[in-house]
């Protein structure tokens, strides 16, 4: 296939976890990547007038657009109880504006695909269905859980509702039809910030999950399960699900089973880092949050070791976890837990894309959508360099540029940044 132009970055991270590649040139035709070659090859030929245009990105790193696999768009990262309460009870017009604003924040940090883990009123679905065209953030693809499912009297009311009385969860999901993009089930409580490692009982049993899993297959929907603790995780893992969300204190055995069954894990470790930061005036709570985080990082290390597919998800909208920005913090935590930069990028790109079902994004290779982030400097500046993204490309077009580059009469070094 003919190439209309090449992007020629100094460094490229392709989203597969492979080591960063130097001097690659990405050939683009229309909305698609059609080739990836060595830039020395094309620079030699580029003297020829008929040769495709080369966008010279020396001094920059190119990586795929990011995917945040767990957010709550109706909530902000504010820790002010009054603000949070207002956000929980606000009507759609306010919530819709907030959703829009948070999508823009994701875009700003290069998150161009995300999965929303649920909201109490189903406003995210209303947003999805009501807005189209330019008023909706045009470059961020999203899948929405709408209202999550939880057991009556148990945790989950902030993000969902209970199954119909006298009907099981599977039947309730079936009656709802096509509304949600993904099914979200809450199967444990929250992590205690008063007692380290305290586990809660599961909300649904093995048979309920089995029935739900069969129903979900029939509806062609994925199932994401909020679960902390050994038993709340093992039940959906045994019965069938696509991903475990949070998974604090789930233990090695569950991780090994998840690796074997190809079930994704979205650890949302940054939530505990945020609590330990926000609660610093209460030494006990702050300390437990920190220990929860350390335990989770140890589990992430085990997950990497036994081959669990981990996808980056921040739980943005939790106290202290800001939309967009939090992905940088979560990537750093993955690296603290032993992931290389390229592997952390993989979790925030191709793994998330696979989990969310976006087949054209997440990797830089022929056939994929020509969507990229261009960040200043070498890969060693990542993930912090996501704070100052230079360009964003989607569907073969540049959709964001930080500032216009002024032509430098001295030659082609005008893009060069300090290393």
Interacting residues with Zn ion (CB under 5 A): 117, 315
Q: How far is the CB of 402 from Zn ion (least distance, A)?
A: 31
Q: What is d(CA 39, CA 24) in angstroms, rounded to the nearest whole number?
A: 5
Cα dihedral 123, 124, 127, 130, rounded to 10, equals -80
Alpha helix stretches (DSSP H) within 25-91: 39-45, 81-89
- Count of other CB atoms within 10 angstroms of residue 2: 8
The residue (of 75 and 300) whose beta carbon lies closer to Zn ion is 75
The residue (of 14 and 315) whose beta carbon lies closer to Zn ion is 315
Q: What is d(CA 231, CA 234) in angstroms, rounded to the nearest whole number?
A: 5
347 and 308 Cβ atoms separated by less than 8 Å: no
User: Which two structure tokens, joined as six digits, stand for 113?
Assistant: 């695909």
CB neighbour list of residue 250: distance below 8 Å, 6 or more residues apart: 227, 228, 229, 230, 233, 234, 244, 299
When CB distances to Zn ion are compared, the closest residue is: 117
The residue (of 117 and 229) whose beta carbon lies closer to Zn ion is 117
The residue (of 185 and 375) whose beta carbon lies closer to Zn ion is 185
Name the 3-class secondary structure at 38: strand
Q: How far is the CB of 230 from Zn ion (least distance, A)?
A: 20
The residue (of 33 and 244) whose beta carbon lies closer to Zn ion is 244
Name the 3-class secondary structure at 360: coil
Q: How far is the CB of 228 from Zn ion (least distance, A)?
A: 11
Q: How far is the CB of 50 from Zn ion (least distance, A)?
A: 53
Q: How far is the CB of 321 from Zn ion (least distance, A)?
A: 10
Q: How far is the CB of 82 from Zn ion (least distance, A)?
A: 21
Q: How far is the CB of 182 from Zn ion (least distance, A)?
A: 13
Q: Which residues pair with 25 in a beta bridge?
A: 37
The residue (of 211 and 315) whose beta carbon lies closer to Zn ion is 315
Sheet of strand 66-71, all strands in order from the earlier edge strand to the far edge: 66-71, 111-116, 141-144
Q: What is d(CA 107, CA 332) in angstroms, rounded to the nearest whole number?
A: 19
The residue (of 6 and 204) whose beta carbon lies closer to Zn ion is 204
């Amino acid at each position: 296939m003919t190439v209309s132009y090449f992007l020629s970055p100094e460094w490229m991270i392709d989203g597969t976890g492979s080591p960063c590649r130097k001097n690659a040139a990405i050939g683009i035709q229309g909305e698609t990547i059609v080739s990836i070659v060595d830039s020395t090859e094309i620079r030699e030929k580029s003297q020829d007038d008929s040769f495709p245009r080369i966008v010279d990105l020396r001094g920059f790193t190119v990586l795929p657009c990011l995917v945040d696999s767990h957010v709550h768009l109706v909530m902000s990262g504010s820790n002010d109880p009054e603000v949070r309460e207002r956000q929980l009870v606000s009507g759609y017009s306010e919530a819709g504006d907030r959703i829009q604003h948070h999508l823009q924040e994701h875009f700003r940090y290069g998150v161009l695909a995300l999965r929303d883990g649920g909201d109490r009123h189903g406003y995210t679905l209303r947003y999805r269905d009501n807005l189209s065209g330019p008023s909706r953030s045009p470059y961020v693809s999203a899948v929405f859980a709408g209202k999550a499912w939880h057991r009556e009297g148990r945790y989950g009311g902030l993000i969902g509702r209970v199954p119909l009385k006298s009907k099981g969860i599977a039947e309730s999901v079936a009656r709802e039809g096509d509304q949600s993009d993904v099914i979200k089930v809450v199967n444990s409580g929250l992590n205690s910030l008063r007692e380290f490692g305290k586990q809660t009982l599961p909300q649904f049993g093995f048979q309920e999950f089995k029935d739900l899993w069969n129903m979900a297959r029939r509806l062609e929907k994925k199932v994401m399960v909020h679960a902390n603790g050994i038993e709340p995780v093992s039940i959906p893992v045994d019965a069938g699900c696509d991903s475990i969300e949070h998974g604090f204190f789930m233990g090695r055995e569950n991780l090994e089973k998840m690796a074997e069954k190809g079930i994704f894990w979205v650890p949302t470790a940054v939530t505990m880092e945020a609590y330990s930061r926000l609660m610093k005036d209460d030494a006990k709570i702050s300390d437990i949050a920190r220990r929860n985080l350390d335990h989770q990082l140890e589990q992430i290390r085990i997950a990497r070791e036994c081959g669990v597919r981990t996808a980056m998800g921040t739980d943005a909208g939790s106290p202290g976890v800001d939309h967009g920005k939090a992905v940088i913090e979560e990537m750093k935590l993955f690296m603290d837990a032993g992931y290389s930069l390229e592997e952390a990028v993989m979790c925030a790109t191709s793994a998330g894309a696979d989990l969310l079902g976006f087949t054209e994004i997440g990797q830089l290779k022929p056939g994929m959508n020509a969507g990229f982030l261009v960040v200043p400097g070498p890969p060693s500046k990542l993930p912090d360099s996501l704070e100052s993204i230079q360009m964003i490309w989607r569907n073969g077009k540049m959709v964001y540029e930080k500032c216009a580059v002024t032509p430098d009469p001295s030659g082609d070094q005008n893009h060069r940044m300090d290393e």
